[in-house]
Structure 1
């Protein structure tokens, strides 16, 4: 899985975050998780399949917000049980 962090300018409140999240879910039905933070100015998308940067920009631009950057990292589940190593 992959974690895509998208810098998003223009979100001012929780409704803005919800608007971006809903647009991402509608455009990319294979998204496992999406969360936005207006305070941090970012949206984090967890997905198994790759999404081209141009498609992400297009979807978020249509919502009226501006993409300021996109970074990708392998997704590592965080939590108590993910820290336990199996031998």
Structure 2
């Protein structure tokens, strides 16, 4: 699993978050997408790494400015897991 974090400029409200989430969900087979307009970021959890070029292509028509993309391995923490 891969966690991809997008830094996005221009999200102002919950509807902006939904607009970004829907654009990502419609373009990629993702497990989870969450956006925060207050943090200015979208976090995507997926089985495979997502193409940065494709993310840029998907975000272009939304009208929001994509500032940065970072990816890292994602491991879901179990209920009783210890660090």
Structures share a fold, TM > 0.5?
yes
TM value normalised by structure 2: 0.92
Q: What CA distance in whole angstroms lies between the structure 2 residues aligned with 1:78 and 1:40? A: 23
CA gap of 1:79–1:39, structure 2 versus 1, over 3 A, is: farther
Q: Which has the larger radius of gyration?
A: 1
Runs of 4+ in 1 over 2 A off after TM superposition: 78-81
Contact conserved, 2:7 with 2:41, CA < 8 A, in 1? yes
Match of 1:46 in 2: 45
Q: What CA distance in whole angstroms lies between the structure 2 residues aligned with 1:19 and 1:65? A: 10
Question: Alignment partner of 1:55: what SS?
Answer: helix
Q: Deviation of residue 77 (structure 1)?
A: 1.3
Contact conserved, 2:49 with 2:71, CA < 8 A, in 1? no
CA RMSD of the aligned region, Å?
1.5
Residues 31-71 of structure 1, C-alpha deviations (whole Å, 9 max, x = no match) = 00000000000000111122110111111121110110001
Match of 1:9 in 2: 9
Match of 1:25 in 2: 25
70-79 or 37-46, which deviates more:
70-79
TM value normalised by structure 1: 0.88
- Where do 1:72-87 residues align within 5 Å? 72-78=71-77, 80-81=79-80, 83-84=81-82
